[in-house]
Chains A and B, each alone.
Chain A
Amino acid sequence: MAEYRLMKGNEVIAEAAIRCGCDGYFGYPITPQSEIMETLMLRKPWEETGMVVLQAESEIAAINMVYGGASCGKKVMTSSSSPGISLKQEGITYIAGAELPCLIVNVVRGGPGLGTIQPAQSDYFQAVKGGGHGDYHLIVLAPASVQEMNDFVALGFELAFKYRNPAMILSDGVIGQMMEKVKLSEYKPRWTDEEIQKISGSWATTGKTPDRDYHVITSLDLDSAKQEIFNHKLIEKYKTMAEKEVRYETISCDDADYILVAYGSSSRICQKAVDLCREKGIKVGLLRPITLFPYPTKIIQEMAKRVKGFLSVEMSAGQMVEDVRLAVNGKVPVEHYGRLGGMIPTPNDVVKALEEKLINVK
């Protein structure tokens, strides 16, 4: 029997982690995502599934605990919000460099610096372009509902293990804090030692047995020629992701003259803006990227052949708009509309911006 509940986005992340057989969560409190660890501590999954939950001394420690756990082939995760995610970048680049699967949740708040505790989407660049040093990418999933907060935990782990690459859920304070009806996932048991051997036995540090060489998890190669080969291997991996893992949703795009491009909570606002435009007789559609890396470039390229323009709507100074522009490649105008600092646009704001920036221009 399917289980439905009214829950906060953050609480659902915790519930979904337990239910998908997560082995360990390591975190440090920060608004607006503290409910994730609080929910886990209340739920005491170590009694139920054996999942480890630990409050680390910092985000740096938390991500490095994830690094250690992921090295053992375990399903491990951390969550934080913008300032904490900045601290995690060192660990994230090591995890990407060591080709390890893990899940990182960023419930974004406004910045820079301590910024605000209100929702924002200003960590897009950091999430999709790498974030830490070196050439690497995360798999980035952008939930637009509490249901997707639930679904993307299991999906994030699935993709992370498929590609041996860290995955990130790039959420924001709206999705984290709002309550919606959610269909919870079925319980999946944690992997047994035998299952871990089957899935990650060729590389995981589970103890050297006589039947195999010892395993080393490292991101270091002092031989430049070898390091370059490794860099190319990563590039190939990202290409495969771009071919196979792009996910997006289109709403009313078939006959649209203008396309709103928006992810996460902005896409919810844009859905309403599409309705308002249609009532006014303006043919507008919404493209909602679900994976921000890999980015739905191809569909934008195709749309660019037939639409009059794109408006990227983000709660940022204009970050994702650059990826839309790259895809459109000058064929039609691409504009950005956003509110900043934790301010949230209304559907009417979006309609007005569309008219001003794309429709009513000479």
Chain B
Amino acid sequence: MVEVKDIIKEENLVYTKSKILTDKVFHYCPGCSHGVVHKLIAEVIEEMDIQDKTIAISPVGCSVLAYNYLAVDWQEAAHGRAPALATAVSRLMPDKYVFAYQGDGDLASIGTAEIIHACNRGENIVIIFINNGIYGMTGGQMAPTTLEGMPTSTSPYGRDVKLAGHPLKITDLIAQLPGTEYVTRQAVHTPAAVRKCKKAILKAFQNVGKKNGTQFIEVVSTCNSGWKLSPVKANEWMVENMFPVYPLGDLKG
């Protein structure tokens, strides 16, 4: 009879967890995009062999504890300020790979000034922007990115654009800035999308080492808890409703 230990052998492995990922269990809700994107970043860091050169900045949002999951040096920023920290790190230690990981409330609301100016200065940093159209961490309030008519706890009758303005397509603005080199919008809802998104993250990290400006990756994401949808339904809802407003693809570079 074949023993299990005979099967668990290096040559039989079809998948291994990235060495950059720690053994801590993700606190993210099942179906949440955050975890998938963490995994992709970890794989890119491992493949590029830049663990010792990577400095990561985590935001305030559901990914505030991102530092529990990726074994690289981390700085935990105040809400919205990650690009300012990243600016200083990359200027003071230009040989490092600096990335800031931010949610849509963090990046496109409270931290609008910091992201616009960091990108406009062309800071040599990578921005990973998780746009789930909602404030996940605080319990599903309206974000600047919340879709028209989309219900949230602070727009219980759906976002009224007369009251709250239109969904902010901040990535379109970012792409206009001469300081950015590569601006793209991705998602992680299918295996194909995950592979594409990883390619984009890899490209951003490779680019940033060449010091030609800011690398910006928006990941249109699900927040099934905030949206009050099952993981499968959340993916379907995202394709139907988020993608028309936030179409996937490269905006620049």
A residues in contact (CB < 8 Å) with B: 23-24, 26, 52, 54, 56-58, 60-62, 64-69, 71-72, 74, 76, 90-91, 94, 98, 205-210, 214-220
Contacts and interface: CB of A to CB of B under 8 A. Distances in A.
Interface in B84-109: 84-89, 91-93, 96
B73 A23 contact: no
Contacts of B71: 208, 214
Nearest to B67: A216
Contacts of A60: 81, 84, 113-114
B36 interface: no
Ranked nearest first, the 7 interchain pairs of A and B with the lowest CB-CB distance are A68-B85, A64-B84, A68-B88, A218-B76, A205-B73, A65-B88, A57-B117
Interface of B: 51-55, 57, 64-65, 67, 71-78, 81, 84-89, 91-93, 96, 113-114, 116-117
Contacts of A214: 71-74
Contacts of B57: 68
Nearest to A91: B78
B92 A64 contact: no
A218 B82 CA distance: 12
Contacts of B77: 64, 67-68, 94
Contact of B78 (A65, A72, A90, A208): A90
B76 A76 contact: no
A24 B96 contact: no
22 contacts: A24-B92, A26-B88, A52-B88, A52-B91, A54-B91, A57-B113, A60-B114, A62-B84, A64-B114, A67-B77, A67-B85, A68-B88, A69-B88, A69-B89, A74-B92, A91-B78, A205-B74, A207-B55, A210-B52, A214-B74, A216-B67, A219-B76
B73 A206 contact: yes
Given A215-B73, A218-B74, A61 B114 contact: yes
B75 A23 contact: no
Contacts of B51: 207-208
Contact of B52 (A54, A71, A76, A208): A208
A91 B81 contact: yes
B75 A71 contact: yes
Contacts of B81: 60-61, 64, 67, 91
A71 B91 contact: no
B48 to A, nearest CB: 13
A24 B53 contact: no
Contacts of B74: 205, 214-218
Given A57-B116, A207-B73, A220-B76, 8 more contacts: A54-B87, A61-B81, A68-B75, A71-B89, A76-B88, A206-B73, A208-B51, A220-B65
B113 A58 contact: yes
B76 A217 contact: yes
